[in-house]
Structure 1
């Protein structure tokens, strides 16, 4: 993924999203990855909030009301956030980390993708999942990134 493609992805996040100039990128090797991480975290938080609102919506009584709820603006916004997240996640995966901070962005993303690894106690996970979970937790800890 080229720098121009990545910057274009960041530009689509919209107002309030991270902006980078060439000087910042040249002086900080993981500036782009950090900016992608910030966008990822903001959109993930919005998605979690929208999903929580959707779960707490009142159950529908008839088929027409149910159909209206399915195409509610909340669902459309969830789909829009998911569409915005996809290229950001692909860019996070494509760009190599060169600092501990960049590694933290990648580890936090991995924790999000594998969130099911945190649903149970580590002892109840199979060996592979437990290994990956501990690796992600260690990388986040070293990078100073919270998992929650």
Structure 2
């Protein structure tokens, strides 16, 4: 993925976001990856909030024993829009090499999101491969100074 293509993706997701010029990119080799990470985190947080609202709405309608036909709610449409926005951001994070520890942290946070099922159980109950990957991601996040959510 080219730098221009990645910058277009960022501009599409965050039209009012910080502009990355060539000087910024030369000064900070992971500026693009960090910007992608910020967009990813913002969209992921929005997605989690929408999914929680959707689950609460579904529980409320079940409690009311509503027999009405299912209708596409605005939250479902927004969830789909966020997922569509996340896809190119995630692909760009994967395609952009990390050049610093900060960039490695962005990639590790993304990997933790993709493999979130590795954190649903204690490490000792995971198979060897999953445990190895989980520990690697946790170590990379620790070295990069980023928290796993």
**Given the two structures, how large is their TM-score scaled by the length of structure 1?**
0.94
Superposed displacement of residue 17, structure 1: 3.1
Give the superposed CA RMSD: 1.0
Cα distance per residue 1:62-121 (max 9 Å; x no partner): 142xx12xx100000000000000000000000110100000000000000000000000
Q: Using a 3 Å threshold, how does the CA distance of structure 1 residues 16 and 45 change in structure 2: closer, same or farther?
A: farther
Q: Which residue of structure 1 aligns with residue 114 of structure 2? A: 113
Helix, strand or coil: the match of 2:19?
coil
- Distance in structure 2 (CA, Å) of the matches to 1:99 and 1:74: 38
Helix, strand or coil: the match of 1:132?
helix
Q: After TM superposition, list the pairs within 5 Å mapping 1:43-82 onto structure 2.
A: 43-57=43-57, 58-60=60-62, 61-64=66-69, 67-68=70-71, 71-82=72-83
Superposed displacement of residue 13, structure 1: 1.0
- Distance in structure 1 (CA, Å) of the matches to 2:74 and 2:41: 22
Q: What 5-or-longer segments of structure 2 have no aligned partner?
A: none
Q: Which residue of structure 2 aligns with residue 90 of structure 1? A: 91
Helix, strand or coil: the match of 1:29?
coil
Q: After TM superposition, list the pairs within 5 Å mapping 1:1-148 onto structure 2.
A: 1-57=1-57, 58-60=60-62, 61-64=66-69, 67-68=70-71, 71-148=72-149
Equivalenced residues, count: 144
Q: What 5-or-longer segments of structure 1 have no aligned partner?
A: none
Helix, strand or coil: the match of 1:56?
helix
Superposed displacement of residue 48, structure 1: 0.3
- Distance in structure 1 (CA, Å) of the matches to 2:81 and 2:131: 33
CA contact (8 A) 1:18 1:39 kept: no
Cα distance per residue 1:6-60 (max 9 Å; x no partner): 0000001134434311110111100000000000000000000000000101225
